[in-house]
Amino acid sequence: MKNLLLKVETMTSMSQKSAEKESTKLSDQVIIVGSGLAGLMTAYQLSKKGIKSLIISKGPLIQTNTWKAQGGVAAVMSGSDSVEKHIEDTLLAGAGLCSKETVERITSLGPELINELLELGMNFDKDSKGKELLAQEGGHQTRRILHVDDQTGRALHEFLLSLIVNSPFCEFRPDHMVVDSKTSEKGSFELKLIQKNSTKINTLTCSHLVLATGGAGKAFLYTSNWKGATADGLYLAHRLGAKLGNLEFVQFHPTCLFDPRAKNFLISEALRGEGAKLVNSKGERFVLNTHPDGELAPRDIVSQAIELEMKTSGSDCVYLDITHHTEEFLSERFPAIFNKCLELGINISKTPLPVVPAAHYLCGGIKTNSDLCSTSVKNLYAVGECGFTGLHGANRLASNSLLECLATAKECASLIDGEVSCLETLDQETKQQVSTEDKVLITVYWDEARRLMWNHVGIKRTDLRLNLALSKIEFIFDQVMTRNWSCKQDHYLTELKNILFFSKLCIQSALFRKESRGSHQNSDYPNLENKKYNTIIDSNLSFSKEYL
């Protein structure tokens, strides 16, 4: 993998040196912003059609939420399973807000997508007979999770990257962040990019733009997401005129490792699929008091049960006990988790793990059409977590995220046809240095906003706390947007703007919904509303209900 990434970096460096000499015509290329599974799969599917793509990543190519995905990818691959069962589980977890049409389409694509990967050479874990091993996770009535140890996302990412790194149809631009976007008079998209450790600002103009930027977990103080999950695609899409939807539905993963030395380290749901039990400080199981499926209930329910236990007991965490399995089994089935915990002095075969919920997944996002990827703006597409397809409803079913990445990418590539174009220019404008005072202020605002979101817009909400958070977020957002910064095109300042934009709309969406449903729980409105609807936000930031 190291050699693979070195090759990508070398290719990128050469293309940048060429661009610095003069304006460069990139000709027939689609721009893809984001290098996670959805972005790479889109590029691969486009390459099969002979369409070139330029993949932009604001960090190294491996820094994505895909790389951190442990559990696996859900698909019907067993004779004892069926697409109908997968549909049923997805609809149930989504708490009434899933688009049944979308659920049927994506779950039906599952076996086809997995078989295509297998034919290309992707290796999932297998049993002694050479058949793919299937795990079970919360909300699934049977085993249907394909996995590679506890590093499935990383394995898929490496595999897809290996398929396209030598392709003449794929170009990579790591360490570049899109800091501004607008639509040109001719209807094309104009993006401004800054490069890490460079003073140059590039402008890209393209006819087709694919956003594969992931979610917004870093809006919260505690999250399982990588540090770059800052809602970049949502703000870009809004500036280009696209609709957003259901931003109030932020899923909290029930089990992140509770240890200050382990930043954002997720404890996969697959442990609970192998029989791990959640217990309190007295060793007592408690999730069964909330749901008959206990630890294998949908994520929103398990997270709520953990929060209730922590608040009623005054504990800082709860514990995940998998000590009924041997050290040999755990080190082989969950090598990354086992070794990480061992580094911290915890042998999970002997000692229960301290865990807490953390912001994990955005169930809403950029509103897409029934084709799963096109948006309200012509030739603008959203794939993966940043898109709002209706698959997840009010709460995502475990391991449906990687499936959605694969499915939306395939559908996106099938829609892009005809002439595509991309033009690059090197602006004379240069990126200024950020003053020390501004660096401090960005850090202070960033920290304050994330604490506000964690304390007031978390698992359990009230109108009082939501309004308190909104007033403070709006104040910070106003200060950030009106301040005369020493450098207006800074990477971290752009991320701060993106996080504040998302936070404001997330809170407003939560206040707009007068009910408790799925991952949105408001103590002031504990019951369901009579009619089901999605929260839609148009380009003027007006809110409306889209009834299902």
Tokens representing 326 are: 């041997």
Backbone torsions φ then ψ of 546, nearest 5 degrees: -105, 100
- Options 105, 144, 299, 465, the catalytic residue: 299
State the alpha helices, DSSP H only, in 29-143.
37-48, 65-68, 83-93, 100-120
Among the listed residues 77, 72, 107, 80, the one whose alpha carbon sits nearest the alpha carbon of residue 92: 107
DSSP one-letter string for 494-541: HHHHHHHHHHHHHHHHHHH--S-BTTB-BTT--SPPSS-EEEEE-TT-
Q: Is 378 in contact with 53 (CB distance < 8 Å)? A: no
Residue 239 annotated among the catalytic residues of the structure: no
User: How far is 392 from 389, CA to CA, in rounded Å?
Assistant: 8
Contacts of 406 (CB under 8 A, 6+ apart): 37, 38, 41, 73, 109, 113, 117
Range 132-151 burial, b when 16+ CB lie within 10 A, else e: bbbbbbbbbeebbbbbbbbb
Q: Is 97 exposed, middle or buried (0-12, 13-18, 19+ CB in 10 A)?
A: buried
Among the listed residues 224, 246, 180, the one whose alpha carbon sits nearest the alpha carbon of residue 502: 246
Q: Is 175 in contact with 58 (CB distance < 8 Å)? A: yes
Q: Are strands 29-33 and 52-56 parallel, antiparallel or unpaired?
A: parallel
Among the listed residues 316, 395, 323, the one whose alpha carbon sits nearest the alpha carbon of residue 356: 316
User: How far is 45 from 30, CA to CA, in rounded Å?
Assistant: 12
Q: Cite the active site residues.
A: 299
